[in-house]
Amino acid sequence: MDNTELIYLRSLSKQFPTIAAASTEIINLQSILSLPKGTEHFLTDIHGEYEQFNHVMKNGSGAVRRKIDEEFGNTISEHDKRALATLIYYPKEKLEIIQENEEFLDDWYTITLHRLVQMTKRSSSKYTRSKVRKALPKNFAYVIEELITEKEEVEDKQAYYNEIINTIINIGSAPDLIVALCNLIQRMVVDHLHIVGDIYDRGKGPHIIMDTLSKHHSLDIQWGNHDVVWMGAAAGHLACIATVIRMSARYGNLNTLEEGYGINLIPLVTFAIKTYKNADCSVFSIKYSDDYDTRDLDMDTKMHKAIAVLQFKLEGQVIKRHPEFGMDDRLLLDKINLEKGTVTINGIEYEMNDTDFPTLNPDDPYNMTEEEALVMKRLAESFRHSEKLQKHVKFLFAKGGLYKAYNSNLLYHGCVPMDENGNFKEVEIYGKKYSGKALYDILDEYARKGYYSTDKIEKIKGQDILWYIWAGPNSPVFGKDKMTTFERYFINDKSTHVEVKNAYYKLNEREDILNKILNEFGLDENKSHIVNGHVPVELKKGETPIKCGGKLLIIDGGFSKAYQGKTGIAGYTLVANSHGVNLVAHEPFESKEAAIHNETDIINSTIVVETVLNGRLRVADTDIGNEIKESIEQLKKLVAAYRNGILVEKEA
């Protein structure tokens, strides 16, 4: 035994001071290995659609309803199953309706509590008693543990449990216990959550989604490019701030900034109204939803144009600072001919549909006016001092990264940049070239520096990388040759709007390419999957989310309403449990109110991707299982050290 191992065992002996203590832990850990693997839930490209997101979280992509069917079979009606499912999803709201309309309320409480206890038992059956105990709500921990735990010493068990429930009803605690049980069932149905990018932009509730995620018991996040640009904005990067505001304005979601995050937009409002008072802003229409206040339309349109022009100026400054980014083709303000009303792109002159730019200096087009600079300074201060935004972005850094290898699944939002021949593309980052996993790692490193570094130079470099990750041609989470925002606003010729996807998207149906990627990230090609988001799968055009027999799963199917017209569905989610892997396709979600009052659920269709043969996956088959096995080995060495006299037991 070398000295390093002895030091470790001495440290371990403080936790397990005797052979008996170490042996008990070995038995406990060995038993855990035999339990069924917990359910993993994968979501991506949520894009601020908080109502649909919340419902999918509550129903576990149909997992709750499947548990109801498994538990009750044909012993209760379809109506009762729907009612029970709705109660589990929205217990407080559903209880209010029941209490107003149910004539025999105590009878309803009795039946419902018995059913919820049964559901809690089924949902928690794959976990250790210790894990379940930790998840119990404090106010009802003892009562719930009594109800869901078999009491061998009690002769008349049914009478015992009935008496507990009757007492709960008699003392008026039934509603609170029902809420507690419903929340516990939701908690136990899904063991771990994966968010494969793009929480932000387009929809109006990313801050609500982030609040929900912040309270989740176990999750990881793979950043999407829309998340990263918000992270850059929170760090104070001006081009990222302008981009975030422009996107919010374009989709009629400025309330997300003002009310959700407390961002003060008054400086921009004042500037836009004054500077663009008589300007043509027709190109900058707002894509608003039914609840948008159209009285703000003229003001928001002016703000939209003002911040878009600022974005193009600020992006130009970043590109000129970093020629190695290879984005000179995005320097378009200096290619505008205001007299002719044209812009030259790649040597071709195009007519522009808007040349009314009151702040554009043709001799120095990327320089902000004094007023513009002051507006951006005030906006940056507001972003940096938004307590809620900073909290959410710190959470993204703490729980997230650009990729994740977890239980033989490789998760990333966009792509692994490749050339046409299937080689990992080399990308220069501050004087060195990186490709494959190394590219992901260096971008992740600089992203964190952009927010956290105390070195001013490194912080600025990191913030510019955050912007590059958002829109750079070799960014893994963008994955296209360019972002044609300028062309989409100002040029009617749609050939200029084309954004060419990275070669990865042509090559990802080849198994050898997917194996190459899995090996690059250290995963076994024979039993691993890649889970991918970012590019919506257009089911209407016959596209499929499943590539190479399930080796690659692209689960962006249009969670965002902005994409549902293209995809024909309202998103995919993935569920991996002890029985296998299922892809779930969702129909559009009507509303929370409809779900509660009409007991409607999202219609899901499930595609079986992979089924476990010869039993079920166990904890032993997971990453946590590998950690437990290593702990067992170390504990065995500790026991041997005690028995051989290398270490001395310490009796209590």
Which residue pairs from 486-491 have beta carbons closer than 8 angstroms and sit at least 24 positions apart in sequence? 486/312, 486/330, 486/332, 487/345, 489/283, 489/284, 489/308, 489/354, 490/283, 490/343, 490/352, 490/353, 490/354, 491/343, 491/345, 491/350, 491/351, 491/352, 491/353
Note whether 284 and 321 are same-domain residues: yes
Tell whether 157 and 109 lie within a shared domain: yes
Q: Are residues 18 and 86 in the same domain?
A: no
Distance CA 5, CA 591 (A): 58
Look at residue 546 and tell me if it is in a domain.
no
From residue 543, give the alpha-carbon distance in Å to each of 302, 414, 527, 555: 39, 17, 24, 12
DSSP character for 204? S
Query: How far apart, in whole angstroms, are the C-alpha atoms of residue 249 and residue 229?
Result: 15
Domain assignment present for residue 544? The answer is no
- In a domain? residue 579: no
Q: Are residues 462 and 316 in the same domain?
A: yes
**Does 353 reside within a domain?**
yes
- DSSP letter at 258 equals I
591 belongs to a structural domain: no
Give the per-residue SS3 of 438-472: HHHHHHHHHHHHHHHCCCHHHHHHHHHHHHHHHHC
Strand 219-222 and strand 192-195: pairing? Answer: parallel
Contact predicate 485/333, CB 8 Å: no
Averaged pLDDT in 10-residue chunks for the chain of 652 residues: 89 95 95 93 91 88 89 93 94 94 94 95 89 90 88 71 92 95 93 94 94 95 97 98 97 95 97 95 90 89 97 98 96 96 96 96 96 98 98 98 96 96 96 97 98 97 98 95 97 96 94 97 94 74 80 78 59 86 80 84 74 86 96 96 93 66
Are 64 and 123 contained in the same domain?
A: yes
Does residue 531 form part of some domain? no
* Cα three-residue angle 402-405-411, rounded to 5 degrees: 55
At 69-92, the pLDDT tens digits run 999 999 999 999 999 999 999 999
Angle, CA 285 vertex, CA 283 and CA 286 arms, to 5° = 155
Residues 17 and 125 placed together within one structural domain of the fold? no
Does 336 lie in the same domain as 239? yes
62 with 28, same domain?
no
Question: Cβ distance 500 to 515 under 8 Å?
Answer: no
Within this chain, do residues 253 and 359 fall inside the same structural domain, yes or no?
Answer: yes
Residue in the structure block whose two tokens are 């404090």: 138
Q: How far apart are the first and last CA of the chain?
A: 27
- Domain enclosing residue 118, as ranges: 58-189
Residue 110: exposed, middle, or buried by beta-carbon count in 10 A (0-12, 13-18, 19+)?
A: middle
Domain-located, residue 278? yes
Query: In the listed set 486, 512, 539, which residue is the last one of a domain according to the structure?
Result: 486
Please check whether residue 461 lies inside any domain of the structure. Answer: yes
Q: In terms of Cα–Cα distance, which of 418, 49, 410 is closest to 226?
A: 49
3-state secondary structure of 202: coil
pLDDT score at 549: 86
Do 23 and 63 have their domain in common? no
Q: Give the pLDDT confidence score for residue 615 in this predicted structure.
A: 81
**Structural domains counted in the chain:** 3
Q: How many Å apart are CA 518 and CA 524, to the nearest integer?
A: 7
